[in-house]
Amino acid sequence: MYWDTLTGRVIAPWDPGYDDARLDYNARFDDIHPGLIVFCQTVQDVEEAVRWARRHRIPFRIRSGRHSYEAYSILNRGLVIDVSAINHIDSDPDEGTARIGAGAQLLDVYQTLWDQGRVTIPGGSCATVGIAGLTLGGGFGLVSRQFGLTIDAVESMQMIDARGRRVDAAAEVHDDLFWALRGGGANNFGVVTEFTFRTFPVGLVTIFSLQWPWRRLPQVVRTFQAWSDPDDLDRRITPILTLQSQKAGHVSIIGEFLGLAKELEPLIAPLLAIPDLMAENIQEMTYIEAVRRFAGLGADPHRWLAHGVPDQDTFKNTSAYAYRTLSESAIRTLEDALSETPGPSCLVQFGGFGGTIGDVAPEDTAFSHRRARSEIQYQAYWSDPSEGPAHIRWVEQFRRAMLPHTVGAYVNYCDASIRNWPEAYYGRNLHRLMHTKRRWDPGKVFRFPQGLSELC
Ligand SMILES: Cc1cc2nc3c(=O)[nH]c(=O)nc-3n(C[C@H](O)[C@H](O)[C@H](O)COP(=O)(O)OP(=O)(O)OC[C@H]3O[C@@H](n4cnc5c(N)ncnc54)[C@H](O)[C@@H]3O)c2cc1C
């Protein structure tokens, strides 16, 4: 067989387990059938896979946790280089660092770091997202206003480049690559195999969840905006505002506070004063319990869940950033879109920025949207395939209707229908990213529909 030289666990379409091996998280892309999937067990397997794909001119994609919104980690016919088995998590308490394999999933990362020494890294809330995809696009989560984006905790990375060679990326070595991988790194420069992160001590935290009837939407949005001003809000709080479809009947604010409940209560007083509060939950717990709550794994998942928990979901999500306070006209646009949804599982979320995220200059890493007030995620979920087109249309119309009030988009919430994606994702960092791409991958070995290779 011509793939005899590929090393690792190689799965072909006729092998048992192929159907499980080929799927990404978004069931919208279940009809994609890769030609081969190699589950790399070691860094050498990754080197071999890149060289093999080049030698045979086989198109390929890189995969870690399978959560790409547009399934950019799989492709028809070509090779999937899967790093999920390279998933070691080793923290060094003396150094305050952790070495994490590119295939580790977030819940395993948080749990292991907690078990090894009550430390963490700032990252997303979904248990099964891969550390590689999350980090290479930025990485926002419920402790980000205190500890930064995931990229802000990266000290160094190991990568296999376009020639199948191992390279290190850090401030002291290949600083151009180190810069580019932090925000523009997914499938653009090489296969990252390991991250070294700075870790942060954690202990007790307080989480909160507040809910109002849908008709209070304008007031909740106005108060949330004033309260979560990036310069004023205590950075130990990271909040998420969720505006559901009118059919779902409510709007809510959840958040995590790196401190005790008695300290939090006065800090959220402006939110508690919004009339018609239907449900108020404030709970002190260990950091790891909070992680499990927000991943939907603890008690009362519907109250706390920041993202879905099944093995797969069928959805269309997209994104933007709010750089300014939303005007009354923008709030009316939110209300209009959410009152005419194709189904009940349609929503928009605002994740509060500022704090440590905003301390870093937009040009210091490839992640350019440092000065945003919040990231915005428009979301639609459905189960009957016939409902797909209406949901996809709703998301796109919503995003477009909000364009006069928003800026850019988050590369980790990628959306194939954004035409000006290079500027939307990378803003003023695009030019420097392109320069780095030409240096590290002049032959455009790493490519995908929204890759920098499409612009060279
Ligand atoms: C349910 C859900 C919850 C989410 N929650 C959050 C959240 O709280 N915060 C947040 O910021 N984001 C969140 N995201 C978005 C998430 O960060 C992105 O989807 C991310 O790209 C997923 O990474 P992955 O490794 O799981 O996915 P994959 O599909 O495996 O990869 C995503 C992209 O990264 C590339 N890639 C993967 N591994 C490597 C590697 N080793 N080297 C180079 N390129 C690689 C892939 O080719 C692909 O382009 C969520 C997504 C989902 C579906």
CA contacts within 13 A on the Cβ side of 90: 5
Q: How far, CA to CA in Å, does 162 sit from each of 46, 50, 251?
A: 11, 7, 47
Which ligand 1 atom is nearest residue 103's CA?
41
DSSP 325: P
CA distance 184 to 181: 5
300 pLDDT tier (thresholds 50, 70, 90):
low
Which ligand 1 atom is nearest residue 142's CA?
8
Name the closest-CA residue to atom 23, ligand 1: 133
Backbone angles phi, psi at 331, to 5 degrees: -65, -35
Centre of ligand 1 from the C-alpha of residue 357, in Å: 19
Residue 306 has pLDDT above 60, yes or no: no
Average pLDDT over residues 271-293: 97
Our answer on whether the CB atom of 316 is closer than 6 Å to any ligand 1 atom is: no
CA 450, distance to chain mean position in Å, is: 16
Residue 98, both tokens: 């952790």
Our answer on whether the CB atom of 216 is closer than 6 Å to any ligand 1 atom is: no
Q: Are 149 and 366 in contact (CB under 8 A)?
A: no
CA 366, distance to chain mean position in Å, is: 15
Strand 346-352 to strand 237-244: parallel, antiparallel, or no bridges (unpaired)?
antiparallel
Our answer on whether the CB atom of 292 is closer than 6 Å to any ligand 1 atom is: no
Backbone angles phi, psi at 198, to 5 degrees: -80, 135
- What mean pLDDT, rounded, does the chain reach? 96
Q: Are 89 and 100 in contact (CB under 8 A)?
A: yes
What pLDDT sits at residue 303? 63
Centre of ligand 1 from the C-alpha of residue 265, in Å: 34
Write the pLDDT tens digit of every residue in 51-77.
Answer: 999 999 999 999 999 999 999 999 999
Write the pLDDT tens digit of every residue in 73-118.
Answer: 999 999 999 999 999 999 999 999 999 999 999 999 999 999 999 9
Centre of ligand 1 from the C-alpha of residue 417, in Å: 18
Centre of ligand 1 from the C-alpha of residue 221, in Å: 29
Please provide the distance, in angstroms rounded to a whole number, between the alpha carbons at the two ends of the chain.
35
299 pLDDT tier (thresholds 50, 70, 90):
low
Name the closest-CA residue to atom 41, ligand 1: 192
What pLDDT sits at residue 283? 97
Complete DSSP assignment for 133-193: HHHHH----TTHHHH--GGGGEEEEEEE-TTS-EEEEESSSSHHHHHHHHHH-TTTS-EEE
Centre of ligand 1 from the C-alpha of residue 408, in Å: 19
Write the pLDDT tens digit of every residue in 189-231.
Answer: 999 999 999 999 999 999 999 999 999 999 999 999 999 999 9
Write the pLDDT tens digit of every residue in 159-171.
Answer: 999 999 999 999 9
Architecture of 89-201+430-443 per CATH? 2-Layer Sandwich (3.30)
Q: Are 86 and 115 in contact (CB under 8 A)?
A: no
Indicate the top mutation candidate among 79, 134, 415 to test ligand 1's pocket, ranked by most ligand atoms within 8 A of CB.
134
CA distance 10 to 81: 10
Centre of ligand 1 from the C-alpha of residue 418, in Å: 18
CA distance 381 to 383: 7
Sign of CA dihedral 298, 304, 306, 311: positive
Residue 244 has pLDDT above 70, yes or no: yes
Centre of ligand 1 from the C-alpha of residue 312, in Å: 14
What pLDDT sits at residue 452? 98
Query: Which CATH fold would you assign to the domain 9-82?
Result: 3.30.43
Centre of ligand 1 from the C-alpha of residue 124, in Å: 10
Domain 204-422 CATH assignment equals 3.30.460.10: no
Our answer on whether the CB atom of 132 is closer than 6 Å to any ligand 1 atom is: yes
Residue 264 has pLDDT above 60, yes or no: yes
Our answer on whether the CB atom of 113 is closer than 6 Å to any ligand 1 atom is: no
CA distance 228 to 224: 6
Our answer on whether the CB atom of 68 is closer than 6 Å to any ligand 1 atom is: yes
CA distance 204 to 284: 7
294 pLDDT tier (thresholds 50, 70, 90):
very high
Write the pLDDT tens digit of every residue in 376-426.
Answer: 999 999 999 999 999 999 999 999 999 999 999 999 999 999 999 999 999
Average pLDDT over residues 354-365: 98
Per mean pLDDT, which range of 116-130, 156-170, 286-300 is the poorest? 286-300
What pLDDT sits at residue 1? 61
Tell me the three state secondary structure of residue 223: helix
Name the closest-CA residue to atom 34, ligand 1: 133
CA distance 180 to 433: 6
Our answer on whether the CB atom of 334 is closer than 6 Å to any ligand 1 atom is: no
Indicate the top mutation candidate among 47, 64, 240 to test ligand 1's pocket, ranked by most ligand atoms within 8 A of CB.
64
Tell me the three state secondary structure of residue 244: strand
What pLDDT sits at residue 4? 78
Centre of ligand 1 from the C-alpha of residue 65, in Å: 6
297 pLDDT tier (thresholds 50, 70, 90):
confident
Our answer on whether the CB atom of 412 is closer than 6 Å to any ligand 1 atom is: yes
CA distance 263 to 205: 11
Tell me whether domains 9-82 and 204-422 share a fold.
no
CA distance 132 to 194: 8
The per-type count for the chain, helices as H runs and strands as E runs, is 16, 18
Our answer on whether the CB atom of 304 is closer than 6 Å to any ligand 1 atom is: no
Nearest-Å Rg of the Cα atoms of the chain is: 21
Domain boundaries, the chain: 9-82, 89-201+430-443, 204-422
Our answer on whether the CB atom of 133 is closer than 6 Å to any ligand 1 atom is: yes
